[in-house]
A and B are shown apart, each in its own frame.
Chain A
Amino acid sequence: MSTFALLGFGEKGWGFALLAGAWMTLLVSLVGMIIGAAFGALVAWAKLSGHVVAGAVGDAYAAIFRGVPELLIVYFVYFGSSGVLTALANAFGVEGFVGVPAFAAGALAVGALSGAYQAEVFRGAFLAIQRGELEAARSVGMGRWLMFRRIVAPQVLRFAIPGLGNLWQVALKDSSLISVAGLSELMRTAQVGAGSTHQPFTFYIAGGALYLVLTALSNQVFNAAEARATRGLRRAAA
């Protein structure tokens, strides 16, 4: 079978399977990124709050998730959360091993990893807000929540876009590690294809090329987002 037919969309082609894998990679990275944003915002808040204990917990979380191999985190989250779920299920009378769905475990692992880095991005973005703007908001009588919604959140998002763009690329690549948990994302699909057709080179190159497409496209999206988010800033500077 020619490479073209092998990777094509015909009856025996792997084209659709690989595209479905790429779609799954996108989904799991996206959910992971959102979980990471929640973790990251919490840790950034803990560090900025000035609470000694909260800050120390935030620091410890960031240090651990940055200092330990990503693969180990994926194993730990996957097998670890299944262990917890099994224990819970057994306590409620369900017998045997209960596995956490690979998608959930994978998104959680990517999210926990990404959160450790997103915390720094958010913290930096918050510190980049002009103090005068916060003072102005307070002096016109805005409450904490209103100030967060109108002044802090929009600017943090704006300043965080470049950093988040980098972390999105990292999340896309880290999601390939979830293949060890059997989730049929792009890496896993390439592996299955390589195994069943005995054409590892073709399939890993095709998988790699699809990852490149994903990263290149998302680069464009983030550049556009940055241009849009900073359109007000540019006009002010000109």
Chain B
Amino acid sequence: MDFAFLTDTFLRLMAALPLTLEVWALSVAFGALIGAGVTWMRVSGNRALAAIACAYVFVFRGSPLLVQLFVIYYGLSSFPAVRASVFWPFLRDPFYCAVLSLALCTAAYQSEIFRGALAALPFGQIEAGKACGMSRWTLFRRVVFPIALRQALPAYSTEVISMTKATALVSLVTLWDMMSVATKIRNDTAIVYEPLLIAGAIYFVVNAIIARGFSALEWRLTPHLRGRPA
């Protein structure tokens, strides 16, 4: 065991962790916004909007993220019109392409989670809210959102964790995330196991922390399900 090498590898990987987390956080956040929009379209009652939302979910859940990422990063830039457009400063940058692609993909999964949570709302609660004369917005803020949030949380944490894992794909579009650094160390030193094992351990710990955070949040949001203190 070469401890100097292991420490060096660990430090280099940790130096790349911020980029991994940045891609993760931005894509989860934008994914939530887009996903909420898709869910709204799906439950809007408008046939055309619902069909578009369905098609969106089908396309982004049915094809591999790697294909989506490559369509956006390599595919779009092959059009002169895209290169001439105002979006080019963003689309030429692998960072924005990665965030865009991951956000579009997770939005499809997140919208299904939101939809499931809405479908599980007890009808009586909505009725009660309306009976008290709540406006649509108040009803959403006071009744729909809190219940749906609790309902969605377990599935949402799974999705968020799968996004940390998905960020490893951005190494294939030339971003210097943890996965790229691990690959680079392997290429430079021909040492296979250690860089991958250390990177895997860091991803594992990050995911464990996120999972812990979500269960703490779930615990906080469900005081009514807790047993009374003995």
* Cα-based distance from A135 to B151 in the complex (angstroms): 36
Q: Please tell me if B76 contacts chain A, counting CB pairs below 8 Å.
A: yes
Kindly list chain A residues whose C-beta atoms are within 8 Å of the C-beta of B67: 176, 187, 190, 204, 207-208, 211
A230 within 8 A of B: no
In the bound assembly, the distance between CA atoms of A179 and B78 in angstroms comes to 22
CB distance from B78 to the nearest CB of A (A): 5
Question: In the complex, how many residues of chain A place their beta carbon closer than 8 angstroms to a beta carbon of chain B?
Answer: 37
Chain A residues within 8 Å of B133, by CB = none
Let me know if A216 and B199 touch, CB within 8 A: no
Give min CB distance, B75 to chain A, whole Å: 4
Q: How far is the CA of A70 from the CA of B65 in the complex (A)?
A: 12
Chain A contacts for B179, CB-based, 8 A: 69, 71-72
Taking a contact as CB atoms under 8 Å apart, the answer to whether B71 and A205 are in contact is: yes
Cα separation A215 to B59 with both chains bound (whole Å): 10
Bound CA span A80–B166, Å: 21
Please measure, in the bound complex, the distance between the C-alpha atom of A172 and the C-alpha atom of B200, giving whole angstroms.
23
Closest approach, in angstroms, between the C-beta of A132 and any C-beta of chain B? 30
User: With an 8 A cutoff between CB atoms, is A177 at the interface?
Assistant: yes
Does B207 lie within 8 Å of A67, measured CB to CB?
Answer: yes
Q: Give the contact stretch, choosing among A1-9, A34-42, A44-52, A193-201.
A: A193-201
Q: Indicate whether B96 reaches chain A with its CB closer than 8 angstroms.
A: no
Contact with B along A81-93 (1 / 0, CB 8 A): 0010000000000
Which secondary structure characterizes the binding site on chain B? helix
Q: Is B66 positioned at the interface, with any CB of A under 8 Å from its CB?
A: yes
Q: Give every chain B residue within 8 A of A71 (Cβ-Cβ).
A: 168-169, 171-172, 179
Across the interface, do B64 and A76 meet the contact criterion of CB distance under 8 Å?
A: no
Q: How many Å from the CB of B137 to the closest CB on chain A? A: 36
Scan residues 62-110 of chain A and give those whose CB is less than 8 A from a CB of chain B.
63-64, 67-72, 75-76, 79-80, 83
Question: Considering the chains assembled together, what is the distance between the CA atoms of A207 and B74 in angstroms?
Answer: 14
The CA-CA distance from A4 to B124 in the complex, in Å, is 55
Q: Is the CB of A180 within 8 A of B165?
A: no
9 extra interface residue pairs, beta carbon distance < 8 Å, beyond A64-B200, A75-B186, A169-B62 = A67-B165, A80-B192, A80-B196, A83-B192, A200-B71, A201-B74, A204-B70, A208-B63, A216-B62
Residues of A within 8 A of B (CB): 63-64, 67-72, 75-76, 79-80, 83, 169, 172-174, 176-177, 179-180, 187, 190-191, 194, 198-201, 204-205, 207-208, 211-212, 215-216
Q: Could you tell me which B residues sit within 8 Å of A by CB distance?
A: 58-59, 61-68, 70-71, 74-76, 78-79, 161, 164-169, 171-172, 179, 182-183, 186, 192-193, 196-197, 199-200, 203-204, 207-208
